Amino acid sequence: MLIQASIQALQSHVPLNEQQIEDLLEIPPNANMGDIAFPCFQLSKMLKKSPVQIAQELAKQVTSSEIQAEAAGPYVNLRFNRYYFSEQILEELSTKGWSVPNLGQGDRVVIDMSSPNIAKPFGIGHLRSTIIGAALYKMYQLTGYEVISVNHIGDWGTQFGKQITAFKRWGDEKALQDDPIAESLKLYVRFHEEAEQDASLDPEARDWFRKLEAGDEEAVRLWTYFVQVSMEEFNRMYERLNIQFDYTLGESFYNDKMGAVVESLQNKGLLEESDGALVVRLDEQGMPPCLILKKDGTTIYPTRDLATAFYRHDVMKADRILYVVGKEQTLHFEQVFAVLKKMEAAWVEKCTHVGFGLMKFEGKKMSTRRGKIVVLEDVLDEAAARALQTIEDKNTELENKQEVAEAIGLGAIIFGDLKNNRTNEVDFSLEEALNFDGETGPYVQYTYARTQSILSKHAASGYQEDIKQCEQEESELLGDSGWELLKILTRYAEQLVRGVQKNEPSVLARYVVEVAQAFNKYYNKERILTENMKLREARLALTQLTGEILSTILHILGLQTPERM
d(CA 551, CA 553): 5
Phi, psi for residue 280 in degrees, rounded to 5: -110, 120
Between 323 and 511, CB nearer to ligand ARG: 323
Q: Say if CB 427 and CB 421 are below 8 A apart.
A: no
CB of 296 to ligand ARG, least distance (A): 22
Q: Say if CB 335 and CB 281 are below 8 A apart.
A: no
CB of 126 to ligand ARG, least distance (A): 6
CA distances from 221 to 24, 55, 226, 274, 373 (A): 64, 77, 9, 34, 29
Distance of CA 150 to the CA centre of its chain: 15
Q: Say if CB 10 and CB 24 are below 8 A apart.
A: no
Closest Cα to residue 213, out of 279, 164, 169, 143?
A: 164
CB of 349 to ligand ARG, least distance (A): 18
Between 36 and 258, CB nearer to ligand ARG: 258
Dihedral of the CA atoms 478, 481, 484, 488 (nearest 10)? -100
d(CA 205, CA 73): 74
CB of 305 to ligand ARG, least distance (A): 5
Between 82 and 353, CB nearer to ligand ARG: 353
CB of 345 to ligand ARG, least distance (A): 16
The answer for 72, left when phi > 0, alpha when psi is -120 to 50, beta otherwise, is: beta
Between 21 and 249, CB nearer to ligand ARG: 249
Continuous H helices in 143-172: 158-170
Half-sphere exposure of 88 (CA within 13 A, CB side): 13
CB of 238 to ligand ARG, least distance (A): 15
CB of 334 to ligand ARG, least distance (A): 13
Between 330 and 424, CB nearer to ligand ARG: 330
Between 111 and 513, CB nearer to ligand ARG: 111
CB of 318 to ligand ARG, least distance (A): 13
**Which stretches of the chain bind ligand ARG, using CB under 6 A?**
112, 115, 117, 152, 154, 305, 308, 323, 325
Which residue is at the shortest CB distance from ligand ARG?
154
The sheet with strand 108-112 has its strands ordered as 247-248, 146-151, 108-112, 320-324, 351-354
d(CA 110, CA 421): 22
Between 184 and 543, CB nearer to ligand ARG: 184
Between 124 and 553, CB nearer to ligand ARG: 124
d(CA 287, CA 280): 10
Pairing mode of beta strands 320-324, 108-112: parallel
CB of 155 to ligand ARG, least distance (A): 9
CB of 355 to ligand ARG, least distance (A): 11
Between 6 and 252, CB nearer to ligand ARG: 252
How many residues does the structure list for the chain? 565
Q: Say if CB 88 and CB 1 are below 8 A apart.
A: yes
CB of 306 to ligand ARG, least distance (A): 10
The sheet with strand 36-39 has its strands ordered as 36-39, 75-80, 67-72
CA distances from 165 to 134, 153, 173, 208, 211 (A): 36, 21, 14, 7, 12
CB of 123 to ligand ARG, least distance (A): 7
Between 130 and 452, CB nearer to ligand ARG: 130
One DSSP character per residue, 475-510 reads S-SSHHHHHHHHHHHTTHHHHHHHHHHTT-HHHHHH
Distance of CA 539 to the CA centre of its chain: 32
Q: Say if CB 59 and CB 76 are below 8 A apart.
A: yes
CB of 323 to ligand ARG, least distance (A): 5
**Which contiguous run of DSSP H or E holds residue 109?**
strand 108-112
d(CA 493, CA 122): 35
Between 117 and 481, CB nearer to ligand ARG: 117
